Amino acid sequence: MYHFSVCGSKTPNGVELEELPVSCAAMYTSSEHLLKSDIVLSVMKKYLRKDMQTESSYEDRKCKIRRLEITDKSKGFIELLRQLTVCDSLSDKEFEDRFHELASQGDDHIICVIEDDSTGKIIATGSVFIEKKFIRNCGKVGHIEDVVVDSSARGLHLGKKVIQFLTEHAESVGCYKVILDCSAENRAFYEKCGFKQKEIQMVKYFT
């Protein structure tokens, strides 16, 4: 279902119109805060009830966001990355070696994960590394990479939690901006996270 936004317009209980389906929002009068028909009111209540259930389901799952730990390989971290891109099988030693290599960089390269306490599985992840420059008074830029949410946990706003965690980290270490690449279909998601399109991505693969 397509959505549209009306800046600054909310329902009486504080829900932004851009979060409502078109069938609800199009018949809502923001100036009077009145719905045009009982039918739309019924649809809207159903939608809001579903949204509240989604929020409560997130709380019920007791998901926590944290940095990657060396034991996360056994919690499905590699399998989760395969939902994003090619990720070959790694031995425990290969994983541990790369983990320690990244950990040695401290705050300059972090990977965050969201673990579902009820299952012990990693259900979302993302990373940010800090590029140090000579320009802008030896400024720093954060590069966000490898953001993915498990297919069973999408719709719970976990992607936003990951992006918030990574952007806040980049800001905390003094970055003047944070950047990322994304597919066209994910553009709207990142715009909701406060990003805007800038320039064009270029790539050259060596293998």
35 with 125, same domain: the answer is: no
Query: What is the model's pLDDT at position 106?
Result: 97
Same domain, 36 and 108: no
Asked if residue 32 has pLDDT above 70, the reply is: no
Check whether 6 has a pLDDT greater than 60: no
Token pair, residue 41, equals 């009111």
Q: Is 10 within the bounds of a domain? A: no
Are 104 and 127 members of one domain? yes
Structure confidence at residue 181 (pLDDT): 95
Statement: residue 139 has pLDDT above 70: yes
Phi and psi at residue 151, to the nearest 5°:
-60, -25
Residues 28 and 68 in one domain: no
Sign of CA dihedral 43, 46, 52, 54: negative
* pLDDT at residue 60, rounded to an integer: 56
> What does pLDDT average to over the chain?
80
50-73 pLDDT per residue, tens: 444 444 454 556 889 999 999 999
Tens-place pLDDT, residues 87-121: 999 999 999 999 999 999 999 999 999 999 999 99
What residues contact 161, with CB distance under 8 A and at least 6 apart? Answer: 65, 114, 124
Contact present, 190 and 160 (Cβ < 8 Å) = no
Verify that 31 and 79 share a domain, yes or no.
no
Q: State whether 177 and 89 are in the same domain.
A: yes
The answer to whether residue 128 sits within a structural domain is: yes
CATH classification at residue 76:
3.40.630.30
Query: Are residues 21 and 87 both part of a single domain?
Result: no
Reported as a single tens digit per residue, the pLDDT across 169-181 is 999 999 999 999 9
Domain extent, residue 34, equals 17-60
Residues 42 and 113 in one domain: no
Residues 6 or more apart from 110 whose CB is under 8 A from it? 67, 68, 127, 128, 129, 166, 169
Q: Do 41 and 112 have their domain in common?
A: no
The residues, any chain, with a CB within 8 Å of residue 123's CB and separated by 6 or more, are: 63, 80, 114, 115, 116, 149, 150, 152, 153, 158
Whether 90 and 23 map to the same domain: the answer is no
pLDDT at 207: 81
Domain tally, the chain:
2
